[in-house]
Amino acid sequence: MQFKARLGANYRKIITGAIMILLILLCVSQYRSKELYKEHISSEMNQDFIQFIACLQANTPLYNDILNAERITEGQAGTLANNNQCISSTIQQYVDLAVKLKLWKEGSPYIQSALNAQKITLLFHEMPEGKLDADQMRILQKVQELNAKWMAAAEGTESQEYPYKWKFSLSDSLWLELIENIESSTLVYLKENDMGSIEELWLQRTEIK
């Protein structure tokens, strides 16, 4: 009986030990899966924001060339439409992620940048190739001003991880700082120009006609 009792006790210890080992392995596996997921998201995030900044940078000489020539080509309009779509979708995508991670208040008004970039996208999708009139020149100058504010906001948001000027990941708040700085610059721009949306520039033109 004593032998059976000891055997039963040892058996229970073995089972308990095996369960604990399995639980530890499960926890380690879940932790590793979460870390791999974070690494994957961080890699995509970094690529997306580097592309976002590249679009801002690429817009600068395009606006200058168009305004200097006082005309726009189909290719230039298409590139500006694509670049501003990238700007809009990147901001919206990562605001949504921030809300999901509870890093951003749901229902926050901080979407003006995405909305205005989308309005600019539609402007260039609909803009015909050719010489620009005075109103179109004025509109493009104002659009250029907003892009310059976005670029300045990006330049003012730098990574502390040398030698990178910009490096974005879930473990660093730089991506949130960039969105906040871009959004602040948009709100300042709209206030300075007494507008609710940049679209008012060309809606006024349509109404006058």
Domain boundaries, the chain: 39-208
pTM: predicted TM-score of the whole model, two decimal places? 0.78
Residues of the chain with pLDDT under 70: 1-13, 15, 17-18, 20, 22-40, 105-110, 159-165, 204-209
pLDDT tens-digit series, residues 86-97: 999 999 999 999
Tens digit of pLDDT for each residue in 159-191? 666 445 678 888 888 999 999 999 999 999 999
Confidence (pLDDT) at 150: 97
Q: What is the pLDDT of residue 141?
A: 97
pLDDT of residue 191: 96
Can you give the pLDDT at residue 160? Answer: 60
pLDDT at 156: 85
Residue 50: predicted pLDDT: 94
Task: Supply the DSSP string of the chain, one letter for each residue.
Answer: -HHHHHHHHHHHHHHHHHHHHHHHHHHHHHHHHHHHHHHHHHHHHHHHHHHHHHHHHHHHHHHHHHHHHTEE-HHHHHHHHHHHHHHHHHHHHHHHHHHHTTSS-TT-STTHHHHHHHHHHHHHHHPPSEE--HHHHHHHHHHHHHHHHHHHHHHT---SSTT-S----TTSTHHHHHHHHHHHHHHHHHHHTT-S-TTHHHHHHHHH-
